[in-house]
Amino acid sequence: MKKLFFGFIACLSTAPSFAQTQQQLPEKILNYYPPAVITKMYEAVNKVNLTDGEMLQLAVQYRKEDSTLFTMARQGKTLQELEKVRSECAQAVMTIIGKERYKKINTGSVVQQCNCDSASGEYLKRRTKELQAIKPLDNIIKIKLEKAFQKELTNHKDDGWASNFNEAMRKTISDTLYFAQLYSNEIDQTATSNAKQYFYPLIKSKKITKAGRDALFPIVYEKKRQLAIVDKMYPLFTKEKDSLITAIENLYTSSIAVSQKRYGGSLSASQLTTLIKLRSVLNLSETQVDSIMVMAATIQAAKDELALKDPVAKYDSKPYESTVLPSILTEEQYAKAMVLNNKSKAEQDAQRDWKELETAGLATNYDKEATIKQLTSYHIARACATYKYSYDREKQKANVRSIDDHMPAALKALKSARKYNNPSNTPQGSFQW
């Protein structure tokens, strides 16, 4: 106790001198109160005049504050909880001695740091123990951490213990494991929020399915978590932070891009993009998806090679697709995929044809609903044949010609009207679609 008391007195001895004569503390305070309280009282009477009654009330309040803060620090209470108690104690002191004298006591206080040593020491001890539980700290690192913490407390008194400890950690510890574990909850919240923000525009623009998001989320989350750890270690920009961010980007960017394409992103060919987006409808296996991704990579490589030779040339991937896809998909999957891929445009073409029939005065000869259905089926069949036989121009022409030979009557009449500008020329005996 005496050793501790003399330590406080030594700290007090560095305080600036005051012109007024120091008051004597009552014997009751000197004999029955702890050194930390006596030290505070010595500083108080050095700065302001107090009655014996005010001294006793102030000593009681100081003892209560120190005891409460010390206990809370040992219990691991948060900085916010400690600051709340400090604020309440300050109000109590002002009630005893008034606001003006309170300001004088707490202005330029040298002993203010000394009387917090026991509580801040307990706080440092508890936080160091948390680090030790994550991974044993080297003794040199522990010493550096303690010195850095004390320095931060001295230079940044208003920042609080938690903020000063965080800064001390950043200056002495470079292992990301400590930051990842110590601030895991905060980092998890940040990573989850940032990962959700990443997916929102993709889902909104239908560039990825919900199933794709669920599959890709763990990869994106881990990237955002790593970045959040770096932000916790380096709040401000540094060369070290820039290097770590670059490394994380390089590690995850390509895998995220590939996975995004695998679950609905735009591939190097529209037909392949449709297949990926309809993977659940077509009941594609993972092996089939892998094969389609290989196809996409092959097509992209061919496009890149052609671009080097002729920057303005366009690579037609359909011959390659129509050759390889039948070996990947079942006959049923292949047929269904082609129909689904061409249905939307076929419906648009059928609607356009009907409007043209109406304009030409030919629509009265046909039932609208049945005719539009026939026209849609025709356009789908023609587009599928064109794609399916892209690898062989002769087969392609023959199959398209066969479909044209059975063109819906309404379309034949429309084509005739276009050619001869003769609305009444209606062919007979056409195949019923």
Number of domains in the chain: 5
Predicted confidence at residue 22, as pLDDT, reads 56
Segment among 13-22, 50-59, 301-310 with least mean pLDDT: 13-22
Q: What percent of the chain has pLDDT over 90?
A: 20
Q: Is the pLDDT of residue 80 over 70?
A: no
Could you tell me if residue 432 is inside a domain?
A: no
pLDDT of residue 355: 93
Among 237, 262, 287, give the residue marking a domain's end. Answer: 262
The reply to whether 253 and 355 lie within a common domain is no
Distance of CA 302 to the CA centre of its chain: 35
Mean pLDDT across the stretch 346-353? Answer: 94
Residue at a domain's end among 213, 233, 262: 262
* Predicted local confidence at residue 422, as pLDDT: 53
State the average pLDDT for the chain. 80
Within this chain, do residues 237 and 160 fall inside the same structural domain, yes or no?
no
pLDDT given at position 379? 94
Assess if residue 179 is contained within a domain. no
Same domain flag for 85 and 169: no
pLDDT value at residue 265: 57
Domain housing 287: 270-328
Whether 178 is covered by a domain: the verdict is: no
Is the pLDDT reported for residue 397 higher than 80? yes
Instruction: Identify which has the larger pLDDT, 203 or 152.
Output: 152
pLDDT higher than 50, residue 431? no
| pTM exceeding 0.75 | no
Give the pLDDT of residue 267: 55
pLDDT at 118: 64
